[in-house]
Amino acid sequence: MSTKKQTVFLSGASGFIAQQIVKQLLDSKKFKVIGSVRSEEKANSLAENFKSPDLSFVYVKELADPTAFDEAFKEHGFEIDYVIHSASPVVFTADDVEKEIIIPAKNGSNVVFSESSWNPVTFEEGVNVDGCAYFYAKKSAEELVWKLAKENKVKFGVTSVCPSYVFGPQAFDVTAKKDVNFSAGIVTNYIKTTVNDSVGTGYYGFCIDVRDVARAHIEPLLNSEKFNDQRLYMVTGTYGEQYIVDTLNTIPELKGKIAVGTPHGDDDIQNRIAKCDNSKTRELLGFEFISVKQSIIDTAQQVLRASK
């Protein structure tokens, strides 16, 4: 006797994390997916890669429009069992940061950081301080979701997934050469270096593998009571640019061909950044996170395969 598959509406289905979510949902054989995309071109590309009858698309061109998803829910609302909202612009500079970064995110949806920590960036800082718009947009969008759930006494559960820098491979090798997200780009850019190139110090912090982030989106669908009203803080470890280079140089195909920098120069990185306690998240999810080193290696090996 077959079990009816439940339907997940996933916004921003062509995104880096979103494609891994789609992949895991379809691989589970438990779900159908309706994904929102901005164009027919993106829909056709995803359809070609996934080749699944359980994947369909709706077109949502402009996230900044408060009615962006209205038609999708009018057409498919009674089919949908779960909603995963992953669409948000991942950009750090814009001519109009409020219009291009903050509004789309909101309308679309030595301290120790834990699941109860919140980003303190204000609207004014988001608009006026270089690079802060994205951070404010993510925070304000999540705040609006929790406010909506609380003030309207909604009859559905809410779980938020809060990842740090996201590394790891694309869902498909074929897209690895062109559709690299910001975080993964930090890794892939060093694959393109030469031995005498310098190693930067500007990027460092907490990180997580994209496959674990995707799984964290799906676990609440499988056990809603356990994850209702929870914030999942997705961190597996820390990285710096020198650590990335050290790791890449352990790969035989790259060793002796890319930047070297100062080996082990990031060994004290954990002493230079804030601490993280996401023990509650790890306990809730109950699976072992992919290590930072393995995430970097898997990213690089995919790029090498795609380049052949």
Domains of the chain: residue spans and CATH: 1-87 (3.40.50.720), 91-156 (no CATH)
- Which residues does 99 contact at the CB level (< 8 Å), separation at least 6? 64
Q: Lowest-pLDDT range, 17-31, 151-165, 174-188, 246-260?
A: 174-188
Confidence at residue 182, expressed as pLDDT on a 0 to 100 scale? 80
Confidence at residue 125, expressed as pLDDT on a 0 to 100 scale? 55
pTM recorded for the entire structure:
0.85
Confidence at residue 139, expressed as pLDDT on a 0 to 100 scale? 74
Confidence at residue 13, expressed as pLDDT on a 0 to 100 scale? 95
Confidence at residue 161, expressed as pLDDT on a 0 to 100 scale? 94
Q: Lowest-pLDDT range, 263-272, 277-286, 296-305?
A: 263-272
The pLDDT tens digits for 248-281 are 999 999 999 999 999 998 888 777 788 889 999 9
pLDDT at 141 over 90: no
pLDDT at 290 over 60: yes
Confidence at residue 118, expressed as pLDDT on a 0 to 100 scale? 52
Confidence at residue 307, expressed as pLDDT on a 0 to 100 scale? 86
Buried b (16+ CB within 10 A) or exposed e, 211-236: bbbbbbbbbbbeeeeebeebbbbbbb
**CA dihedral sign, ordered 62, 67, 72, 77:** positive
The pLDDT tens digits for 181-208 are 788 889 999 999 999 999 998 889 999 9
pLDDT at 101 over 50: no
- Residue 134 CA, chain-centre distance (Å), reads 13
pLDDT at 289 over 50: yes
The pLDDT tens digits for 50-94 are 999 999 999 987 776 778 788 888 899 889 999 998 876 544 344
Q: What is the mean pLDDT of the chain?
A: 85
Confidence at residue 105, expressed as pLDDT on a 0 to 100 scale? 41
Greater confidence (109 vs 232) lies with: 232
pLDDT at 114 over 70: no
State what percent of residues in the chain have pLDDT above 90: 57
